[in-house]
Amino acid sequence: MYFDPVLMIALPLFAAFLIPLLGRVSKEIPKYVPVVMIGFNLYESIMMLPHSMVKPIIVIIAAWKPPLGINLTIGALGNVLALIISLVGFVVAIYNVRFVQKEPTEKYHMLYMLMVAGATGMVLTGDLFNLFVFLEITSISSYALTAFIRDRNGAEAAFKYLLIGSLSSTFVLLGIALIYGTTGTLNMADIAEKIQHVDSKITIVALILLVTGFGVESEMFPLNGWAPDAYSQAPTAIGAAFGGIVVKAGVYALARLIYTIFNFQGVFFFILIMGVITLLIAEMSAIRQKQLKRMLAFSSIGQMGLVLIALGLATVRGVEGGLFQMFNHAMIKPLLFLSAGYLVYYSGSKDISDLDGMGRKKPLLSFFFAFGAFAIMGLPPLSGFWSKFIIISETIRGGFVVVAALALFGSVIEAVYYLRVVGRLYFKQPNESEKTKYVHASAILAMSVLALVVLFAGLFPDMVMSYLKPAATELVDKTAYIKAVLTAGL
């Protein structure tokens, strides 16, 4: 039993508008509002799952059938991503409850909730311009959150992010202009239907503009200059959420574009190549990082490179692998970020070299970090293994042996730098014994949930995959999606 899915977006917005009022009542309330709202989203996306697997749920807004009105199209893919986003969002929201002490906290919670709502909107909407609006909601809240700490580096990172983000969003707008100018519609399914009759010289330019725009959010090289800075300078929880929320929405938009709306075969190969380049450059940069969070940021980019490779394969199985990788990345990266955030906090320095012997002082945090590192390296039986395995297997099946070898080379590099950090945590003699500080229970809870999900997905990958298969099918075979939207309510 699920409620109208539009509430997944409307209620967080409503709550966000109300937070200033609620904040007057008590300072405590705003802390829990995101937990409740995103928890509701989580509930919704779980309850919708059995329905959306069968056929897309079309939600009509303002009583206008598509393509006239805006509609939410919750196919398997959108639902799975909404689930991922709400799950990560929920966990990070729990973490936020105690972690955020920087004033003004109520604004922080507001921004955070809107970021999650925006990302949810991006993956649920069926309208191209609405996608743009939600992209802006997501990215503006991300800009503000990046600079939230208000130190010099945070502002710098935020400015970079904003510059690149807004530059690219104008390209998105240009692309939308081109599409509207030639097809006269903004509904994605309708566009997909009508764009076949448009001169491909025009549509390819539209696609390029849109890919450039959404490539920024999905961390494609060379559009990812913002990522390492933003990840490392944002508050820890936000850095964790970027990988699981903002980037996922960006990749979703990218996938939607290249699979559903447009139909260019060469683009897939292009995405594949960009994926490899992204992966390699990110891993190579990561290995030389001195700061822990910055290293994690580069590693995150590398993981997205792997996702892009999977999307570039354009096979159902490959996309499944890519979605699985996205799922894993969304679970593991927050785990790493949250534990790293605490480790950095306790060691009092952002540098990896100051983490010596934290394994002794903070065994649980270090365990979570090591667990996450092992999972992201793709060691069985953790879930990272399966996604990597499927992607590489499909890459080789597609005949791209060199690509697979390069991706694996990237994995080796990844193993090296993660092991170096884990080594610091465990192998080095702790420099001096400080009195141990308290780790909030909400943080431990958040990390445990993520770790359990990772372990569970690794032991029972079929459970996860059974939901990803319809999602991948929906993406690769777009006819069902288009039909569902255009016949909605008839």
Partner 1 sequence: MRKAIAVIFLGIIGYYLLATFFNIPFGIARVLDGVGFKYLAMGVPDTGAANVVTSIVVNFRGFDTLGEVTVLFLAATGMGALLHHREPMKRSRQNASIIVKAGARILFPLIIILGAYVFVHGHLTPGGGFQGGAIIASGFLLMFMSYRSYHVNHVVISRVESLAGSTFVIIGLFGLVYGHSFLANVLPLGTVNTLFSAGVIPLIYIAVGFKVGSELTGLLDTMLKTVK
Partner 2 sequence: MIYYVAAFSLILIGAYAVLVKKNMIKIVLGLSLIDSGVNILLVALGYINGKTAPIFSNPSLKAEGMVDPVPQALVLTAIVIGVAVTALALTIVIRLHDHHKTLDISKIRELKW
Partner 3 sequence: METIPLILLILFGSALLSYVIGKINFVLKVGVALAGILVSGYYFLQLYGQAQSYTFRLLGFDIIWRINPLSWFFGMLIFGLGILVAIFSTSYMKNKERVDFYCFALCMTIASMFGIVVSGDLLSFFFFWEIMTWASFLMVIYYRYEAQAAGIKYFVMSMIGAYSMLIAILMVYAQLGTFSFDALASGWSDFSVSFQIALFVLFAIGFGVKAAVMPLHTWAPDAYGMSPAPFSALFSGVLSKMGIYGFALLMFVFGAGKLAGSVTTIHGVALPSYILAWFGALTALIATLIAVMQDDAKKLLAYSSVGQLGYIILGFSLNSSMGTTAALFHAVNHTIFKGMLFLSIGAVFYRTGTRKLSEMGGLISNMPYTFFVVLLGIITMAGIPPLSGFVGKWLIYEALLEKQMVLLAVVAFMASTAAFLYCYRLIFTIFLGQRPPRFDDVKEVPWTQRAPMLLLSLLTIYLGFYPYGLLNLIGQAESTVMGLVPMNLSQSILFNDLGHVSTIAVMNTVGTVFVIVFVLFNTLYKRSRKVGLKDIHTSGEVPGPEINLHYATDFYQPFSRSIRYVLERSADRLYGQFANNLEGFFDVLRYVYTGNAQTYALFVIMFLAMLLMFTNWLI
Which residue ranges make up the site for partner 2 (CB under 8 A)? 129, 133, 136, 140, 143-144, 147, 150-153, 155-160, 162-163, 166-167, 170, 173-174, 176-177, 180-181, 184, 186, 228-229, 232-233, 285, 288, 294
State how far the Cα of 30 lies from the Cα of 177, in Å rounded to an integer. 39
> Which residues, other chains included, contact 489 with Cβ-Cβ below 8 Å and sequence gap of 6+?
58, 60, 65
Residue 72 pairs with which residues in a beta bridge?
59, 125
State how far the Cα of 299 lies from the Cα of 90, in Å rounded to an integer. 23
Q: Which is nearer to partner 3, 317 or 333 (CB)?
A: 317
User: At its nearest, how many Å lie between partner 3 and the CB of residue 404?
Assistant: 6
User: Quick one: what does residue 59 bind among partner 2, partner 1, partner 3, none, with the CB cut-off 5 to 8 Å set by partner type?
Assistant: partner 1
* By the rule CB under 8 A, 196 interacts with partner 3: no
* By the rule CB under 8 A, 420 interacts with partner 3: yes
Site size for partner 3 (CB under 8 A): 69
State how far the Cα of 229 lies from the Cα of 239, in Å rounded to an integer. 10
User: Quick one: what does residue 399 bind among partner 1, partner 2, partner 3, none, with the CB cut-off 5 to 8 Å set by partner type?
Assistant: partner 3
State how far the Cα of 433 lies from the Cα of 134, in Å rounded to an integer. 48
Q: How many CB atoms lie within 10 A of CB 126?
A: 31
User: At its nearest, how many Å lie between partner 2 and the CB of residue 353?
Assistant: 16
Binding site for partner 1 (CB under 8 A): 4, 6-7, 10, 13-14, 16-21, 24, 59-64, 67-70, 103-104, 107-108, 110-111, 114, 118, 121, 127, 129-130, 133-134, 136-137, 140-141, 143-144, 147-148, 150, 155, 174, 178, 180-187, 199, 201-202, 205
User: At its nearest, how many Å lie between partner 1 and the CB of residue 323?
Assistant: 26
**N-to-C CA span, the chain:** 24
| 2, 314, 316, 469, 474 from 477: Cα distances, Å | 27, 10, 9, 12, 5
The candidate with the shortest Cα–Cα distance to 45, out of 15, 89, 14, 96, is: 89
User: At its nearest, how many Å lie between partner 3 and the CB of residue 396?
Assistant: 4
Residue in the structure block whose two tokens are 């939901």: 467
The candidate with the shortest Cα–Cα distance to 77, out of 308, 322, 244, is: 322
* Backbone phi and psi for residue 351, each to the nearest 5 degrees, phi listed first: -80, 145
**Residue numbers at the binding site for partner 3 (CB under 8 A):** 159-160, 163-164, 167-168, 171, 200-201, 204-205, 207-209, 211-212, 215-216, 222-223, 225-226, 228-229, 264-267, 270, 281, 284-285, 287-288, 317, 359, 374, 379-381, 385-386, 389-390, 392-393, 396-397, 399, 401, 404-405, 408-409, 411-413, 415-416, 419-420, 423, 426-429, 461-462, 465
